[in-house]
């Protein structure tokens, strides 16, 4: 077996199950789950109708490159959303969700023999756990850059030593951030691009929460490059329909950016055997072409935040997120794991300890003392959960 498998840590939800084992919540209170970012809004009819009308696609082998129709829909969406022009034949690649693509891209990119030293993959901290697992299984060394409140929950690139930058082959960024909801500014992007130019690493921009915002659409990586007069060299962005269109089970997204990198990634994926189902491709194209359901989705999340934040404000310390459907709240008492057990034991509300989403790095676990609340449940349940949590004090 791959020896790097032994380096993988338990997934946060596995750790949460162990933390709550043996705890019996109040039977008279309805359970409310806020621990996992799984969209619960209704799947839009534009997607379900496209699926049912395209079942004939099940009879054909799919192309790894994806259909011309799907790639064109993705390119048109990038133009509408970001004002970015892309070549759908060389700068866009459909994938089976951003999670699979983030992992696979890392395996295709990392070259353990390039410098004679173990390569480095830089990740924000806290982070989406796939970043770490992908780095480890590619034979790279993860390096964590803390995202703290005093730095707008953005990575402090100035804290990365020169010796680390010299071994860095890939940098993950997540904007809007999971779990903080923080969005990178144009100045943030410029600083990272300058580092990429200096050290030659690739930037993997995870933007799966980009369409859940509150009026100010988040800046994207490709958009930032265009605004700064750059091309897409050493830059790829990952996006998904899961959050945007409430279809996490569809497993559909796309990667866009540096054509040279995507050419190699396409070759990897051809052998990897992960082409998207033609029926899913047709439904995905329909989803990318439609914005009405996305606007309604945003409206529902905005209603939840508007209702929940005033209830939590007297008890918790938090900043309103720039985007995404998470609240990243500092808990009373500062012990996030103890608080999660108490919330489950006394209020039958399940939340995710922030320390499970981060690693001890540079003398601190930047997730410690926080919990992540995913406002994915129905509005009434989110309000009820907020009331129960506020009553714990």
The CATH number of the domain holding residue 110 is: 3.40.640.10
Q: Which domain holds residue 320?
A: 3-42+293-392
Render pLDDT for 98-108 as a digit per residue (tens, 0 to 9).
999 999 999 99
Q: Are residues 124 and 259 in the same domain?
A: yes
Render pLDDT for 266-325 as a digit per residue (tens, 0 to 9).
999 999 988 999 999 999 999 999 999 999 999 999 999 999 999 999 999 999 999 999
Q: Are residues 200 and 183 in the same domain?
A: yes
Per-residue model confidence (pLDDT) at position 116: 79
Q: Are residues 55 and 32 in the same domain?
A: no
- Assign residue 387 a region: left if phi > 0, alpha if psi is -120 to 50, beta otherwise? alpha
Distances in Å between the Cα of 200 and the Cα atoms of 37, 118, 184 are: 33, 16, 21
Q: Are residues 119 and 149 in the same domain?
A: yes
pLDDT classification of 113: cutoffs 50, 70, 90: confident
Q: Are residues 50 and 21 in the same domain?
A: no
Other beta carbons within 10 angstroms of residue 227's beta carbon come to 15
Q: Are residues 77 and 206 in the same domain?
A: yes
Number of domains in the chain: 2
The CATH number of the domain holding residue 335 is: 3.90.1150.10
Render pLDDT for 128-141 as a digit per residue (tens, 0 to 9).
999 999 999 999 99
Distances in Å between the Cα of 38 and the Cα atoms of 41, 117, 125, 242, 246 are: 9, 39, 21, 8, 9
269, 290, 311 - which closes a domain: 290
Q: Are residues 388 and 253 in the same domain?
A: no
Per-residue model confidence (pLDDT) at position 229: 98
Q: What tokens does 302 get?
A: 């905005």
Q: Are residues 163 and 277 in the same domain?
A: yes
Mean pLDDT score across all residues of the chain:
96
Per-residue model confidence (pLDDT) at position 383: 98
Render pLDDT for 23-58 as a digit per residue (tens, 0 to 9).
999 999 999 999 999 999 999 999 999 999 999 999
Q: Are residues 263 and 378 in the same domain?
A: no
Pairing of strands 92-95, 202-206: unpaired
Helix, strand or coil for residue 189?
A: helix
Render pLDDT for 199-256 as a digit per residue (tens, 0 to 9).
999 999 999 999 999 989 999 999 999 999 999 999 999 999 999 999 999 999 999 9
264, 290, 316 - which closes a domain: 290
């Amino acid at each position: 077996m791959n020896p790097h498998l032994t380096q993988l840590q338990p997934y946060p939800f596995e750790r949460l199950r162990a933390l709550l084992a043996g705890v019996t919540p109040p039977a008279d209170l309805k359970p409310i789950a806020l621990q996992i970012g799984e969209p619960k809004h209704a799947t839009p009819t534009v997607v379900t109708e496209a699926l049912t009308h395209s079942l004939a696609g099940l009879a054909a082998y799919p192309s790894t490159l994806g259909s011309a129709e799907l790639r064109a829909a993705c390119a048109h969406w990038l133009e509408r959303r970001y004002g970015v022009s892309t070549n759908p034949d060389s700068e866009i690649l459909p994938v089976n969700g951003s999670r699979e693509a983030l992992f696979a891209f890392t395996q295709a990119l990392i070259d353990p023999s390039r410098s004679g030293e173990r390569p480095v993959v830089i990740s924000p901290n806290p982070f989406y756990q796939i970043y770490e697992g992908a780095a480890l299984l590619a034979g790279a060394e993860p390096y964590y850059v803390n995202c703290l409140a005093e730095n707008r929950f953005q990575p402090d690139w100035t804290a990365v030593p020169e010796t680390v930058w010299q071994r860095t082959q890939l940098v993950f960024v997540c904007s809007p951030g999971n779990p903080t909801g923080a969005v990178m500014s144009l100045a943030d992007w410029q600083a990272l691009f300058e580092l990429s130019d200096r050290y030659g690493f690739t930037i993997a921009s995870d933007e799966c929460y980009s369409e859940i915002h509150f009026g100010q659409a988040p800046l994207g990586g490709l958009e930032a490059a265009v605004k700064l007069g750059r091309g897409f060299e050493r830059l790829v962005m990952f996006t998904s329909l899961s959050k945007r269109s409430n279809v996490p089970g569809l497993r559909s997204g796309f990667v866009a950016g540096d054509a040279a990198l995507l050419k190699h990634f396409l070759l990897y994926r051809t052998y990897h055997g992960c082409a998207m189902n033609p029926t899913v491709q047709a439904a995905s194209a329909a989803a990318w072409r439609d914005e009405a359901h996305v606007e309604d989705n945003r409206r529902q999340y905005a209603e939840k935040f508007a209702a929940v934040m005033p209830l939590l404000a007297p008890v918790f310390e938090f900043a309103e997120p720039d985007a995404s459907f998470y609240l990243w709240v500092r808990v009373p008492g500062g012990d996030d794991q103890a608080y999660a057990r108490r919330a489950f034991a006394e209020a039958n509300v399940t939340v995710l300890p922030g320390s499970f989403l981060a690693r001890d790095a540079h003398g601190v676990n930047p997730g410690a003392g926080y919990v992540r609340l995913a406002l994915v449940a129905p509005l009434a349940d989110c309000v009820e959960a907020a009331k129960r949590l506020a009553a714990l004090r």
